[in-house]
Chain A
Amino acid sequence: MTAQDVTRHGPGTGPEEIRAVVLRYLARYVDDVAVLDRERLISDGWLDSLAAIGLVAHLERSFGLEVGDEDLELTNFDSLDAVTALVVRKLAG
C-alpha cells in the first residue's frame, strides 16, 4: 500500500477503515506493530514528535480534514483508538 493509495478517504469512511489508515501510518515508526496497541504512545515515548506532527499532516491529507488547536489535546493522539475516534468525530462534523 503506497501513500497515494491511502489518500482521499472522505466523509462516510467507517471506523475500521480509518483505524487501518492510522495504523498503516504509525507502523512506519515501529518495528513491532503490537506496540501500537498501547495507551500512551506519545506521552510514554513510543512515538517521537516527528511521528506525532507527521500524523497530523497525514490525517489532514488522507481525510481532507483540518486539525485545529481545539483538537490538540494530547489524549486525542496518544493511542490508536483515540486517533480513530478523533477522525470519526471530525468527519461527522
Chain B
Amino acid sequence: MSGPDLAQARRLADQLLQPDPGPALGTLVATRHGGLGLSHALHGEVCRLVAETSPSRQALLTVHAMVCRAVGRWGSEELRDRRLPDLATGRTVAAFALSEENAGSDVRSLAIECRPTDDGWELTGEKQWITYGLEADVLLVFAGTERGPLAALVDTSAPGVEVRACPRTSGFAEARLASVRFDRCRVPHDQVVGRVGSGLAHVAADALTLGRLSIAFASWGLARAALRAATQRAVGRHQFGGPLHERQLVRGLLADASVAVDAAQELCRRAARSIDEAGEWLQHDVLTAKLAASRAAATAAATAAQLHGAAGLLEGSPVDVMVRDARVYEVIEGNTQLLQDLVAGQVLARHRSGEDL
C-alpha cells in the first residue's frame, strides 16, 4: 500500500469515526454514481483502520458497503440511478436484513412471508440482528417467494415497517442493532434488486463476499490494536522484579499473537487483490482471509486481556471490549465452523480442477 493511498485511507477512517460519516460511506460506489470508486484493497485498509479504534463503528461501513454493492452490481439501471447517489454520500444509510429467528447460518430457511401483489410484493414477518438497523433509512431485505428467493430495498419509513432496538449484545455493543417487524409492507417491483429467484444464490452471496472481506480487514485491525495493548502492558507492568516481557511464557504469547496478526495482514491483502483482479480463486482467498483474520483477532484479544490480569476483566475496559468484539467476528458473515466447511469446499474444488494447491 503506497503512502498517498494509506493517507487517503486514514482520512476516510477519521471521517467514519465522526457522528456523520457522509461521503466516506461511499468507498466502493462507482464515481459515476457519486461514490469514491476505491479499490477493494483501499476499502479494506479503511475497514482495518476504523476497526483499530471501533469495531462497532466499522460494522456500519461493512453493511452499508454490502447494500451499495448489491444495488450497484445487480440493481436495474433505473434503481442504481435513483438510489446510489444518496447511498454513496451517506445521505441514505443502509443496513442488511437477512437473519431471522430460525434462519441464522442456514439462510435457506427464511420464513418471512412475501406475497405477490398487483404492483410488487407484500412482506409480513420479522428480521433480527440488523447491524445499524436503528440508524438505517433503507434495508436490503431477503425473503422467499413462490418463485424463489428475492432481495429488495425497503425504506424504514414505509408503512408497515417497525424498527425496534435489539437486546444489547456484549460484542458490537455500539453497533445499533435492531429487529424489524414487517406488517403487510408493500414492496413495489422497482425496489427489487436482481431478479426473483436469485436473491440468495447471487445477490446475497455476492454481498456476503464483500462482507467477509470487510470483516477480515476489520479483524486484522482489531488484532493489531490488541497486540499493541498486549505489548504496552508487557512493557509497562512490573512483577517479580521486572517487566512482564522478561517472562518467557509472556514472550510466547506475544510471539504467537504477532504471527497471527502478520498472517492476517498478508491474507487480507491477497484477498483484496484477488477481488480487484477478478482472480479465479477469489472466493477461496476471501474465505481464507476471513477465517484466519477472525481467529487472529480472537488470539490477540485473548492475549491482551490475559496480560492485563484482573484489569482485563473489568467490564468495559478496552481489552475486555476487544475480547467481546473479536467473538462477534467468529460468528457473523459465516461463523468459524461454517467457514472451515466452505474453505474445505474450495480446497476440494481446486483439487478437482487439477490445479496444484
Contacts and interface: CB of A to CB of B under 8 A. Distances in A.
B148 A74 contact: yes
Interface of B: 74-76, 108, 148, 193-195, 197-198, 200-206, 209, 278, 280-283, 342, 345-346, 348-350, 352-355
Interface magnitude class on chain A: 20 to 34
Contacts of B202: 49, 52-53, 56, 72, 77
Interface string A74-85: 110100000000
Contacts of B283: 50, 53-54
Nearest to B147: A74
Contacts of A3: 280-281, 353, 355
Contact of B349 (A2, A29, A53, A60): A29
A interface SS class: helix
Given A72-B74, A74-B195, A29 B205 contact: no
A50 B345 contact: yes
B201 A53 contact: yes
Contacts of B203: 72
Contacts, number: 80
Given A1-B354, A28-B353, A72 B198 contact: yes
A88 interface: no
A8 interface: no
A2 B200 contact: no
A69 B194 contact: yes
A20 interface: no
Contacts of A54: 283
Contacts of B352: 27-29
B195 A73 contact: yes
B201 A42 contact: yes
A43 interface: yes
Given A29-B345, A61-B278, A73-B198, A52 B205 contact: yes
A57 interface: yes
Nearest to A28: B349
A75 B201 CA distance: 12
A1 B354 CA distance: 7
Contacts of A27: 352-353
B201 A77 contact: yes
Contacts of A73: 195, 197-198
B78 to A, nearest CB: 10
Given A54-B283, A72-B194, A49 B204 contact: yes
Of listed B76, B205, B348, residue having the most chain A CB within 10 A? B205
Contacts of B204: 49
A60 B195 contact: no
A48 to B, nearest CB: 8
A49 B200 contact: yes
